[in-house]
A and B are shown apart, each in its own frame.
Chain A
């Protein structure tokens, strides 16, 4: 590295710790040997985690986040090694530890919590014994270990630890299992706790609880935390300092608030612009995007790794990698042009003309008293219970709710993939739609299409892009020959891809491109209603922005109606005109997006909203849901939400009577016993119950 202006090593410790840093990583390179070739996965990564400090690592998939975690525990796979630099944990040189000392370090000093709690627990050992094992290894007797296990499980707020200890991991819900894993990780009172995407597999409401727990425990246990996540809001909430990883390099580092409020590297700036924030909506203009793609592992970019995608790139950026520039004592950026980085020109023009759905719009599709019961052992699962919902022509209806609320079942009923119970009716243009897909006419099939969550699953991996997107055209739109070829070319360009992609297969495309192919496939038949089932949740933030823009553009052009399912309220708020909130297969609230978000809203909506962490600091009102969504096999009496409702009335009406879905304002329906004015007062006061 040729050093120029103000080269410095890693920033000084900015943690609150008075003692030396818990972790010190200096100029670390990690190399994977793949098919006989060395590929650099991390390059010159340096950072410190002070004692009792919480340090966040953010980055998109492939940036090397997890490799850092593996390197810090020396759990790199056999083909990986730390090829340069030094790692010190609690003053010990990690890389020179022998097998015994390493085992000791893993047992006492460093603990790790992974993304999927279900895979971190041994399925054949009772939870109590797994937790107790940590104490037994530390030398405690069997009886004492079990007692201490119970104590730590209570500490991670498991309600009935004695009973939970007797269960097997599969009998725990996701949130509960993750608590148990955290309990195990903390049992050894480690100096460093590594959390690798600990809440990514959990619902927002459960995530909020787990994050609160981690915050509380960190205070209590005096532990340093390395928090790894792709979710910037989670990092903003949880961390004192943050490092941004891009293509294996730490490109920016500083206090979390400062990095997110005043980013000084073009990548960080771009990444933050990709996220719909502060109530941004599609009619405010497009989201900005980051052009291009993450360079593949083992790339050979000389100079700055971000240069190929940077809009303020200069010749010197391509000649030599920029050193770390000190912006202030705590904030560094690896960018020659860090001073102008905040004013990065937009990559995507703002302009966007969208038709606003007319006030008197006709419904294109209606769901009338749709119920769906799945037979199951020990009763039936009521996935949907009497749902009435209209989809207006040209609008985007956002469908939100926790997993298990029936969102996907609703979409499948509409599509005809799952037949609803007797007595339900699904109408398209006021004509009843046959429940069975095979009895729907070509025209009806053509009208409703879907973009699935995961393009890897939704695209046949043995078919070429050409085949994938021409089949709907030939099958439903009846095109062939020259006209088919022309339309295929149109279609591929309309999702911003090129004709040369037509001959490729899905595994030769990146995640974002695959999702574009899936969108092209859905739009091929010329549908009037497109169901988008979490279309961006499997994608990185920068890719998500481009897909959301594309969906908004296509809607403007093709005048389609969207049923947009998402657990990400920021995304729903950006795209949706109206929002329906689902809980245990029932509509809790439906109304114009802005009204639903602004409130007064249903207590469940309120809880969902306050569960979502925000990059821009915390919201004033914070209510927490206790526990997880009850089983749909045995829904609670009265209002199904009463078991978790923080604003439940004392009169007992919530337990006994199911509130009707009543109009509280024009177009705004809610199913709650609490009068709207009272809700307004409660919620505008920011009163937590």
Chain B
């Protein structure tokens, strides 16, 4: 038997067996219970934000002066507040502003922070030093206080809060993106691009940016959690969403004085709502980080 098979041509790419079992990051995420739990809670709140008024059993603004301060019951699951408004409906509807403002603010901060981080990390030199010092100066002050000062100066409105929180987060995100860019700067593909005569904006946007997207994604979700806290805090202090719009922060602010009288539900449920939203985002963040790291 002399069937010497013709060998495949030297070095010609014979199909490498598909890396079976390799799942896309998305499929890996869907396999994680923590992600599913976080995403479910988050989706619930997003649905409330979108369709809150139709979901809510009562009008969140409707005052029932005959049923003020009533404890949770079949008719009012979360009880009613000092003006007899349905606390459950207020929690459901109250998510809209805080979620919208936080998300927009985080998007704003991420976009600006990414741009700054790319410039600092790639161009280095004076740009890096200058922006770096400004960033450090901003970081030296407590974030809430900085936001607070700006909101006081500009007057509270959803737009102002969004912009202020976005700006406050910008340096933080810039710093994270910068360090990711510095890691990329060590790699030869940037030299390779420079040898093709590519200009800096192209190198930053097309060569580096796609490689730091995972870092930005994680940073975005982390900041979103903080943004919710910051917005809730501003509302609590009276500089956020203004009454009578239902809002968790301001509801807590208006009702916590009644805790001493035993009216715990008015404060507890909005507080739990804030906690659940932040925890949901943290669960999602953790899962994304772990999937990207694996």
Taking Cβ atoms with an 8 Å cutoff, the residues of A that contact B are 34-35, 37, 289, 291-293, 295-296, 299, 309-315, 345, 347-348, 415-417, 437-438, 440, 442, 445, 448-450, 452-454, 457-463, 471-472, 475-476, 496-498, 501, 508-510, 512-513, 521, 525, 543, 546, 549-550
B188 contact from A296, A457, A549, Cβ within 8 A: A457
The reply to whether B192 and A462 form a contact with Cβ atoms under 8 Å apart is: no
> In this assembly, does B262 line the interface, its C-beta being within 8 Å of a C-beta of chain A?
no
Chain B residues in 8 Å Cβ range of A296:
16-17, 19
Q: How far apart sit A501 and B256, CA to CA, in the bound complex (Å)? A: 64
B197 contact from A299, A347, A442, A509, Cβ within 8 A: A442
The reply to whether B4 and A293 form a contact with Cβ atoms under 8 Å apart is: no
Q: How far apart sit A462 and B193, CA to CA, in the bound complex (Å)? A: 14
* Residues of B1-22 whose CB lies within 8 A of A: 1, 3-14, 16-17, 19, 21
B196 contact from A34, A315, A476, A510, Cβ within 8 A: A476
The reply to whether A345 and B11 form a contact with Cβ atoms under 8 Å apart is: no
Q: How far apart sit A512 and B16, CA to CA, in the bound complex (Å)? A: 12
The reply to whether B14 and A293 form a contact with Cβ atoms under 8 Å apart is: yes
Q: How far apart sit A453 and B194, CA to CA, in the bound complex (Å)? A: 17
With A454-B188, A457-B189 as given contacts, are A347 and B7 in contact (CB-CB < 8 Å)? yes
> In this assembly, does B245 line the interface, its C-beta being within 8 Å of a C-beta of chain A?
no
The reply to whether B11 and A472 form a contact with Cβ atoms under 8 Å apart is: no
The reply to whether B10 and A445 form a contact with Cβ atoms under 8 Å apart is: no
Task: Return the chain A residue nearest B3 by Cβ.
Answer: A314
The reply to whether A546 and B10 form a contact with Cβ atoms under 8 Å apart is: yes
A-B contact pairs, 24 of them (CB 8 A): A291-B12, A291-B14, A296-B19, A299-B17, A315-B1, A345-B4, A416-B195, A417-B195, A437-B197, A438-B197, A442-B197, A445-B196, A458-B188, A458-B189, A458-B192, A460-B211, A475-B197, A476-B197, A498-B12, A498-B13, A510-B16, A512-B11, A549-B11, A550-B11
Chain B residues in 8 Å Cβ range of A463:
210
* Residues of B180-215 whose CB lies within 8 A of A: 186-189, 191-198, 207, 210-211
A445 contact from B1, B5, B19, B197, Cβ within 8 A: B197
A417 contact from B8, B16, B186, B191, Cβ within 8 A: B191
Chain A residues in 8 Å Cβ range of B19:
296, 508
Chain A residues in 8 Å Cβ range of B23:
35
The reply to whether B211 and A415 form a contact with Cβ atoms under 8 Å apart is: no
A289 contact from B10, B197, B207, Cβ within 8 A: B10
With A315-B1, A417-B191 as given contacts, are A497 and B210 in contact (CB-CB < 8 Å)? no
The reply to whether B197 and A314 form a contact with Cβ atoms under 8 Å apart is: no
Distance from B19 Cβ to chain A, minimum over Cβ atoms (Å): 7
Interface footprint category on B: 20 to 34
Q: How far apart sit A34 and B21, CA to CA, in the bound complex (Å)? A: 9
Q: How far apart sit A527 and B19, CA to CA, in the bound complex (Å)? A: 36
The reply to whether B5 and A313 form a contact with Cβ atoms under 8 Å apart is: yes
Q: How far apart sit A550 and B21, CA to CA, in the bound complex (Å)? A: 33
Distance from A602 Cβ to chain B, minimum over Cβ atoms (Å): 31
The reply to whether A415 and B12 form a contact with Cβ atoms under 8 Å apart is: no
The reply to whether A449 and B195 form a contact with Cβ atoms under 8 Å apart is: yes
- Tell which of B4, B14, B23 has the most Cβ of chain A within 10 Å: B4
- Tell which of B10, B12, B21 has the most Cβ of chain A within 10 Å: B10
Q: How far apart sit A47 and B1, CA to CA, in the bound complex (Å)? A: 32
With A345-B4, A417-B195 as given contacts, are A496 and B13 in contact (CB-CB < 8 Å)? yes
Task: Return the chain B residue nearest A34 by Cβ.
Answer: B21
Task: Return the chain A residue nearest B186 by Cβ.
Answer: A457
Distance from A561 Cβ to chain B, minimum over Cβ atoms (Å): 16
Distance from B49 Cβ to chain A, minimum over Cβ atoms (Å): 33
- Tell which of A457, A497, A550 has the most Cβ of chain B within 10 Å: A457
The reply to whether A37 and B21 form a contact with Cβ atoms under 8 Å apart is: yes
With A299-B17, A521-B192 as given contacts, are A311 and B197 in contact (CB-CB < 8 Å)? no
Task: Return the chain A residue nearest B196 by Cβ.
Answer: A475
The reply to whether B21 and A292 form a contact with Cβ atoms under 8 Å apart is: no
Interchain Cβ contacts within 8 Å, total number: 117
The reply to whether B196 and A471 form a contact with Cβ atoms under 8 Å apart is: yes
> A449-B195, A498-B12 provided; 17 other pairs, C-beta below 8 A?
A289-B10, A309-B8, A311-B6, A314-B1, A315-B1, A417-B195, A440-B197, A457-B187, A460-B207, A460-B210, A462-B210, A475-B196, A476-B197, A497-B13, A498-B13, A501-B13, A549-B11
Distance from A463 Cβ to chain B, minimum over Cβ atoms (Å): 8
With A296-B16, A312-B4, A460-B189 as given contacts, are A472 and B196 in contact (CB-CB < 8 Å)? yes
The reply to whether A450 and B11 form a contact with Cβ atoms under 8 Å apart is: no
The reply to whether B195 and A450 form a contact with Cβ atoms under 8 Å apart is: yes
The reply to whether A437 and B195 form a contact with Cβ atoms under 8 Å apart is: yes
The reply to whether B195 and A415 form a contact with Cβ atoms under 8 Å apart is: yes
Q: How far apart sit A123 and B290, CA to CA, in the bound complex (Å)? A: 28
B10 contact from A291, A452, A497, Cβ within 8 A: A291
Chain A residues in 8 Å Cβ range of B1:
314-315
Task: Return the chain A residue nearest B194 by Cβ.
Answer: A437
Chain B residues in 8 Å Cβ range of A457:
186-189
Distance from A139 Cβ to chain B, minimum over Cβ atoms (Å): 42
Task: Return the chain B residue nearest A313 by Cβ.
Answer: B5
Distance from A507 Cβ to chain B, minimum over Cβ atoms (Å): 9
Task: Return the chain B residue nearest A521 by Cβ.
Answer: B192
Distance from A62 Cβ to chain B, minimum over Cβ atoms (Å): 12
Q: How far apart sit A593 and B195, CA to CA, in the bound complex (Å)? A: 29
Distance from A544 Cβ to chain B, minimum over Cβ atoms (Å): 11
* Residues of B144-203 whose CB lies within 8 A of A: 186-189, 191-198
The reply to whether B13 and A513 form a contact with Cβ atoms under 8 Å apart is: yes
With A296-B19, A445-B196 as given contacts, are A348 and B10 in contact (CB-CB < 8 Å)? yes
Distance from B9 Cβ to chain A, minimum over Cβ atoms (Å): 7
Chain B residues in 8 Å Cβ range of A35:
21, 23
A311 contact from B4, B21, B198, B210, Cβ within 8 A: B4
Chain A residues in 8 Å Cβ range of B9:
291, 496
Chain B residues in 8 Å Cβ range of A295:
17
The reply to whether A289 and B187 form a contact with Cβ atoms under 8 Å apart is: no
Chain A residues in 8 Å Cβ range of B188:
452-454, 457-458
Q: How far apart sit A501 and B194, CA to CA, in the bound complex (Å)? A: 25
Distance from B3 Cβ to chain A, minimum over Cβ atoms (Å): 6
The reply to whether A291 and B21 form a contact with Cβ atoms under 8 Å apart is: no
Chain B residues in 8 Å Cβ range of A291:
7-12, 14
The reply to whether A459 and B189 form a contact with Cβ atoms under 8 Å apart is: yes
Distance from B225 Cβ to chain A, minimum over Cβ atoms (Å): 27
Distance from B5 Cβ to chain A, minimum over Cβ atoms (Å): 5
The reply to whether B196 and A347 form a contact with Cβ atoms under 8 Å apart is: no
Give the top 4 A-B pairs by smallest Cβ distance, nearest first.
A546-B11, A462-B210, A311-B7, A458-B188
Chain A residues in 8 Å Cβ range of B6:
311
Task: Return the chain A residue nearest B11 by Cβ.
Answer: A546
Chain A residues in 8 Å Cβ range of B16:
293, 296, 509-510
Distance from A442 Cβ to chain B, minimum over Cβ atoms (Å): 6
Q: How far apart sit A457 and B192, CA to CA, in the bound complex (Å)? A: 10
Chain B residues in 8 Å Cβ range of A496:
9-13
Chain B residues in 8 Å Cβ range of A549:
10-11
Q: How far apart sit A263 and B9, CA to CA, in the bound complex (Å)? A: 23
The reply to whether A292 and B14 form a contact with Cβ atoms under 8 Å apart is: yes
Task: Return the chain B residue nearest A299 by Cβ.
Answer: B17
Chain A residues in 8 Å Cβ range of B186:
457
The reply to whether A292 and B8 form a contact with Cβ atoms under 8 Å apart is: yes
Chain B residues in 8 Å Cβ range of A417:
191, 194-195
Task: Return the chain B residue nearest A316 by Cβ.
Answer: B1
